[in-house]
Amino acid sequence: MDEPAPRPKRTRIQREKRELIGEAALEVFSRHGFRGSTIDQIADEAGMSKPNLLYYFKNKEEIFTTLIQRLMETWLAPLRAMDAAGDPQSEIRSYIRRKMEMSRDFPRESRLFANEILQGAPRILPLLEGELRELVDEKATVIAAWMREGRLKKSDPYHFIFAIWATTQHYADFDVQVRAVLGEKRGGEGRFEDAARFLEGLFLE
């Protein structure tokens, strides 16, 4: 059986246009969710015509899937980096810090993911049940071993991970609320450092 021909590499212009469309789509999807977004809105945000956009992506679903796949690679990188051979305190502290940095630097991506989950994850459920579950199983086993060794306080390692996700991503998904409650003096960029220090104490002490 003949092997399928390799897909032709995209040109620099094609890559740049897809990046432009992806950035525009991220803005639109993060504001309106998948259902509330249209190709016309994305084209307007990207400053191009709808037919031109559809030359690079065949439909809204393809744009969204591309964004989500890229997001998941970024989102899971800090968890993948957790080293079983490292010091548990340092590894957990590093994980919390990197998750807080992501909440600070990628709030639109976080909202995009949250919207998809709230809709029942119809476009990414296989990824959640496959790649994500496998990674969490692996890291939960590492954390459980640290707990058995007395290097971390004993708890359910899965809910330990979930709690880190919930508390760190709060500062992306509910940033408006955080800033409103903290006020001008405490609601500036320093809020992320304050939160990181608090969460380190919460999970490690």
Half-sphere exposure of 197 (CA within 13 A, CB side): 4
In the prediction, which pLDDT does 157 show? 98
CA 181 vs. chain centroid, Å, equals 25
Task: Quick: pLDDT tens for 11-27.
Answer: 888 889 999 999 999 99
Count how many residues are written for the chain.
205
Specify the pLDDT at position 1: 45
Domains and CATH numbers, the chain: 1-58 (1.10.10.60), 68-204 (1.10.357.10)
29/37 Cα distance (integer angstroms): 6
Question: What would the mean pLDDT of 139-157 be, rounded to a whole number?
Answer: 97
Spatial separation of the C-alpha atoms in residues 60 and 77, rounded to whole Å: 26
Residue 54 pLDDT greater than 90, yes or no:
yes
